[in-house]
């Protein structure tokens, strides 16, 4: 039981440490936030930066059709899209980053401005209107996945804290009961029943 408590404590502290960094940037006039990979802990960046790991995640995103939730009627204009409350994953994977300056056509199709892309960021160059690519290879997509994962991990860590408190209580009661049981046997053995 003691080892279980230590393992849970270690994993909970680890989760709080690696998920401590990283928040979305609020963009003026937008209902969604934008996420940057550099805002997260180096351990998380390394994990999603691993080609094998990211390939599996990217495959899951495609299979789950994360970007197919936008309907043409619902988001007919750019203003409607900009007010939409997107999940971190949708914000990072289904549209180009705002700072790139792409022009809105529909939720997953954006035109390059006549003046050209406004940033030299790799995500601006990685964006594709191909519905199978979009921004799945972008760092903003990885950051969006990390933002979602961070939220879920924090929920699990909080649950773990409650479990740890419960297990410590049970362990303490058990230790006290064993100690009292031993001292009762000792008293009966040497002093008899009274």
pLDDT in tens, 3-28: 999 999 999 999 988 888 777 777 87
The predicted model gives 72-97 an average pLDDT of: 86
Residue 86 lies in a domain: yes
CB 164: neighbour CB atoms within 10 A? 17
Residue 10 lies in a domain: no
Mean pLDDT of the chain: 88
Residue 101 lies in a domain: yes
Q: What is the pLDDT of residues 153-184, one digit of tens each?
A: 999 999 999 999 999 999 999 988 887 776 55
Give the count of domains, the chain: 1
- Percent of the chain exceeding pLDDT 90 equals 62
Residue 64 lies in a domain: yes
Task: Supply φ then ψ for residue 22, to 5 degrees.
Answer: 100, 110
Residue 4 lies in a domain: no
- Position 31 scores a pLDDT of 86
Q: What is the pLDDT of residues 50-63, one digit of tens each?
A: 999 999 999 999 99
* Cα angle: 36, vertex 42, 46; to 5 degrees: 90
- Residue 123 gets the label, from left (phi > 0), alpha (psi -120 to 50) or beta, of alpha
CB 143 within 8 A of CB 123: no
Residue 3 lies in a domain: no
Per the structure, the complete domain to which residue 133 belongs is given by: 22-156
Residue 52 lies in a domain: yes
Cα separation of 66 and 86, whole Å? 11
Residue 112 lies in a domain: yes
CB 19 within 8 A of CB 150: yes
């Amino acid at each position: 039981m003691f080892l279980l408590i230590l393992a849970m404590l270690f994993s909970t502290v680890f989760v709080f440490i690696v998920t401590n960094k990283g928040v979305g940037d609020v963009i003026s006039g937008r209902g969604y936030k934008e996420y940057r990979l550099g805002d997260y802990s180096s351990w998380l960046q390394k994990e999603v930066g691993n080609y094998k790991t990211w390939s599996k995640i990217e495959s899951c995103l495609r299979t789950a059709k994360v970007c197919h939730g936008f309907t043409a009627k619902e988001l007919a204009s750019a203003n409607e899209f900009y007010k939409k409350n997107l999940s971190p994953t949708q914000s990072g994977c289904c549209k180009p980053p705002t700072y790139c300056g792409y022009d809105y056509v529909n939720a997953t199709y954006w035109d390059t401005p006549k003046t050209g892309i406004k940033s030299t960021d790799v995500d601006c160059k990685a964006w594709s209107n191909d519905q199978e690519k979009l921004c799945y290879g972008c760092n903003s997509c990885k950051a969006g996945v990390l933002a979602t994962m961070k939220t879920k991990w924090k929920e699990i860590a909080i649950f773990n804290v409650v479990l740890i408190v419960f297990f410590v209580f049970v362990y303490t009661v058990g230790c006290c009961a064993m100690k009292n049981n031993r001292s009762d046997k000792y008293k009966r053995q040497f002093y008899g029943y009274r």
